Amino acid sequence: MNQESKNRLEQAEQDGKYIRKVRSFVKREGRLTKGQAKALEDNWKNMGLNHADGLLNFNQVFGNDNPVVLEIGFGMGKSLVEMAKNDPNSNFIGIEVHRPGVGACLMDAAEAGVTNLRVYEHDAVEVLADCIADASLSKLQLFFPDPWHKKRHHKRRIVQPEFVENLREKLKIDGVFHMATDWENYAEHMLEVMNSAEKFENLSTTNDYVERPDFRPLTKFEARGHRLGHGVWDLMFARKI
C-alpha cells in the first residue's frame, strides 16, 4: 500500500467510514467463452442485479412474495440452477465475483427455463450490507468457499464472527445459514465460530454437523471426493430472535 492509499484509509477511518481491509476471495478474471458472453448479453436484463441499485424489493424483483434463498459464491452455478429448478415455489439470488461463472450460470438457467433466479456479479459482503433488507431471507447458503488452508491465510476465510453477525440480521427468525466444506479444518473453524455466535441454534442432532440434505445437489467434484474417501461437512444453523 502506497502512502497516498494509507492517507486515504486513515482519513476514512477518522471520518467513521468502514473500509474492508481483508477480502475472502482473489478476483481471477478468466476468459469468457462465447456461450457465457452471449448468455450475459441475452439474459442480464432479466436476471442480473446491480449492487449500485441499492436495497432490493423482493416482491418487485420476483413478482411474488415467495421465500428467498441467497447463495454466496455459486461458482459456475450448476447446483444453484438445479436448486432453483427443483423448487419453483422459492426465489433464489446468487452472488459471484467471477464473470465466467456468472455467464455460465445464466446460460444454464436460460437453457433450463428457470425464472426464479437472479444473480449479482459483486462482492457478497457489500451486497448483503447494501442490497438485502434485514429479516428478509429464509435461507443463506455458503457452499465450498475458499478454505484458505495455509494458517497465515485463515484471516481471509469468509466465516468470521463479524460476517456471521452481519448475515444473522438478514435472516428471518428461524431462517437458516447453511454451510458446506470439504476441508475438515475449515469445518471445525465454521463450527467454532457458529457455536460462539449469539442467537443461532445448531440444527444438528449431534450438535456438530448434519447429513447433506436432499435439496443440496451432489456436485461432480463432491462425488469424486466421496469416491476418493474425502469428507464433506454440512452445517446448518437457524436464527433465533
* Strand ordering across the sheet containing 200-202: 48-49, 117-120, 91-95, 68-72, 137-143, 171-181, 233-239, 200-202
Q: Which of 87, 130, 146, 182 is catalytic?
A: 146
Residue 24 to residue 153: CA distance in whole angstroms: 9
CB distance 200 to 239 below 8 Å: yes
- Please indicate whether residue 146 is annotated as part of the active site: yes
Residue 87 exposed, middle or buried by CB count within 10 Å (0-12, 13-18, 19+): middle
Spatial contact of 145 and 73, defined as CB atoms under 8 Å apart: yes
- The catalytic site residues sit at 146
